[in-house]
Every structure is written in C-alpha cells, then in structure tokens.
Structure 1
C-alpha cells in the first residue's frame, strides 16, 4: 500500500511533530526563569551554541549557498539575514529579561502578540489587513492592556517586564518580516545559521560591554541552557518546519499559541509560579485576539507563511 496516499501515517507523524514542538517551545520561559544566570548571557549561549550546532551543515552541504549569501549572487538575501540577526538579538535582549523580571505566563502571552505586530507591519507596507484581522488586533491590544494594567498594582518591575515582553514581540515581528525576504532565496539552514551567528555576536558584545559574566554557573543552569538550545531553539524550530510540509501554516500558527498555557502550566508545576488572577482574563483575551489575527490573515491570503514559518522558538 502506498503510505503517502493512505494519509494516516503522515497525519500521525505530523501530529507527533507538532506535539513535540509545542512542548519544546513551552519549556523556553520556565527554563529561562529557572536558570541562575543573567538573561543576556543565557541568550548569548542559546544562540551561540545553536549556531555552532548548525555549522557542520552550513560549512558542508550548504557551503556554496553561504558563500553566495556573503559575496555572491544572493548578497541581497545575505543583507536581510544580517538585519534579521540584529532584530533577533533585540528580541532576545528584551523578552528574556522580561521572563526573569515578571511571570512566565504574562511574558509568554505578551510576546505571543508577534502576529499582531506583523499585521501592522503589513498594513504599513501597503498590504491591508482583513476586517477579521483588525478585530483580532483590537482584541489582542485590549487583552495586553488588561494584563499590563493588572500588573500596575503589583510593582514597577512587573510593568517593566510587560513592556519588555511587548518590545520583544515587536522585534520578533521585524525579524520575521526581514526573514521572509531572506528566505525567498536561501534555505532554512543557511538563513538560520547566519541569523543565529549575528545574534550571538551582538549579544556577546552586549555582555562584554555590560560586564556580564558568561561562565561560572552551576550545573543546573548549564543544563537549562543546553535544554533551551536543544529544545526550543533547535528541536521546536525543526519540528514546526517539518509540520509545515504536511499541514497548513494557519494550523501551525494557531497551535503555536498553545505555548502560552503550556508555559504557564510548566511554570506552575515546576517553579510554583502561579499566574496573577487579575491578569488571566486579559491573557485569555490576548490569545483569542492573536488567533483571530492569524485566521483573518489566512482567510485573506489562503496561506500565511510570514505568520508561522519563522515563528520564534521562544
């Protein structure tokens, strides 16, 4: 029997890949909160080790493509890769500190507004969002305002964490928009290797300027950093890319939102970190709004690769 024509094994493997990917990215926030190391240092090691892991492929089978991106026929795409790496560094430099300053649940939910900002970027570029997308944007913004307002009465640090998470979402949207341009000419591996490398170098410079130590952590912290690299950074990204070959980008985009309750559940079970009750309605409204944005964009374009294909392994 033709396995592909029967469809069942493909659906099973795709569902398994999506389950693994959601679990992998859901672990990101709790692992960052758990790590006894400065957020910028964790961000550097996360991207630096991921770039090292991809180097054998980039320097081997993809060597010609990398050369073309640096000084060959794909130099324009290479420039977009560099710019995307800058945006990715800004994303990690804002979102990862927000996880350590606030709660995993709120920071993860606020950074999940990335598709909202992508919709606004598309509108700025002249691609008018659908009515459903605008409704979703309004709902998501209202939910974010509700959640942040609930933190006003908690502490200034909680509000700062919310602002940093929203900034992280905006930078993630910029990263995705730039990556869309680069991916038109480059493979995922080449694009990702250059982005992670540029991102790691910028984060390293930031750590050196700020005097942040990069070593001397305990064993548990190193284990958390390695889990971030293997799980959220590499495994989650790879599994989502695999799933995109067998299911719609819209499905993947919506399922990525399961990271929000997944991260909150892990933070509660593992770290004893409960979401603030006053913020929960806002977080639910935010996630619902983002889902509406994704579905509205998909209905308008019939496929929304920019909203899913390069979603960050947060």
Structure 2
C-alpha cells in the first residue's frame, strides 16, 4: 500500500527516507517512469486516454499544466485537481463535488497508487499520469513529462504552438534544466528541509549563487535561450512564482526576495503576462499549501495576508530592453 496509508499520518521527509545522515534533504526517486512513444514498452500516445493529476501548489505539476496550455493539449489530456493542502491520507480531491475525482472515483490520490502497485512504499506524488483505460498510474516522472508533451505528443499540438524543445537546443536545454533543478527548483527544498545548520547553509549558498548567475544571464537575453520561450523557462518560472509567497519565509531562503532582482523579477512578470503561465499560477493555493500544509511550522494555521500579489500585473521592462515580444503565445 502507499506510504500515506501505511503510516496513517502526514508523510514527512523522514518517513519517505529523504533525509541523509548529515541532515541533507534527498528527494525520493520517481517510481513510474515509462516514457510515452510508439516503441515496445512505451506508453501509447492517444487522445482521451490519460488523466493528469495536479495541484497548483506543486511546481513540478504546475509546469505540466503550463506546457499543456501552451501546446493546446488541454482537450487531449484530461486534468484532475487535488487540494493544495495535503492531508494525513495524502493528496485529496476535496475540490470536486462529493470530494471524489469525477473520472477516477477516488477520494485520495494514494488509492490509485495502491491499486496500481501494492508494493510501492513512496509518497503518492503530483504530477501523476493515470491511464484511464487500464486504471493504472503510468507516469510520475516530472523530470521528463514536459519533454514528452513537447515532442511525442506533437501530433496533437494546436496550430502555431511554440517549439518549447527545439532539436538544435536540446543538449543545451537539458544541461541548463539539470542546473536549474539541482540548484534552484530543488535547491529551495534542500534549504527548507535541511536538518542541520551546515546542510541548510550549503543549500542556501548554492541557491543564491545560482540566482545571481541567472540574473546576469537574463540581463543579456529576454528568455533563457534568447527571444524564444523554451522548456527551461517553464521550469525556472514555477520556482520564481513561489519564492516571495512561500520559500522566502517557510524555507528560510531570505537573502533576497524575487522582487529584489531586476532581471529575474521582470522576466517572471513577462512570463506571467502570458495566459498559459498566468492561468496555471494560483497564489492563494501556493500560500495555503506551503503555509497551512506540512511544509512550514505553523501550529495555529495562520495564513499571512501578504505579499501583495497585484504587483505581478504591473508592467515589466522586457519590451523596453529587448523589443516587443515576437511570438504570440
């Protein structure tokens, strides 16, 4: 059975064996990693067959929804949403009528994990891809999911969809994505979930050194790879949107706020002005998930009133620096 049901409580990093002997946070590996494709052993690419389970709290899940919206795959892959506050029994479909997912007919995400792989002992995570035809979890590999939407699902892309993973840049994109993941996306968690001062400070230093590096990179280009939005921009964006609202406080990543970086802040606002990014960004869910869930020590469940989210709608300076955006997303 899934680990949430085994322990009967909120699953902590220690329960999932995600804390090293030195107190460092070590994220669990993904269990369901079968790729999409047309070769033997790969998941068939079929419209209407799969359901993506996400929550707007989670950065790994949010980047799937951004990609689906940019590429026009929302009517091809159905989307189910769990509450941003994870319960003692795992992610819950509390937002749906009757508290049950209308397609899978389950109340908690671990239920479908237990049906699929009773031997699985990790956390039931988002994003999760469920094959509705077989009623099994088939993929929770957030490292590669957006790449599948961008490539093998191209048959179903809308007309004029952006090429988020161009062949000539894939080696460079993959290399930058690895850096962004280890130092920034997961870097905030390494700081926030560290259980020793040494590991916290190590993660903190790496995170801000990398943010300084990205700040400099974005002083020369509108996006991470010039004038075109790529998979890398989606991956960086989801951490930036959570920085001031959650990580700065509950993960103690407080050397700077996002708004203190000129290029990173204006770059993030530029992306937020694009409907696919904005529609997938729910600041209320982000705050509730991190500050009322099990990410922060908040025994009285007090939800901070700030920061002021309206500033995300203010003008950015990327047009002034690099010219009007050339592509209509």
TM-score computed with the length of structure 2 as normaliser: 0.27
Q: Which has the higher strand share?
A: 2
Instruction: Say which structure is richer in helix.
Output: 1
Comparing both chains, which one has the higher relative contact order based on Cα–Cα distances under 8 Å and sequence gaps of 6 or more?
1
TM-score by length of 1: 0.28
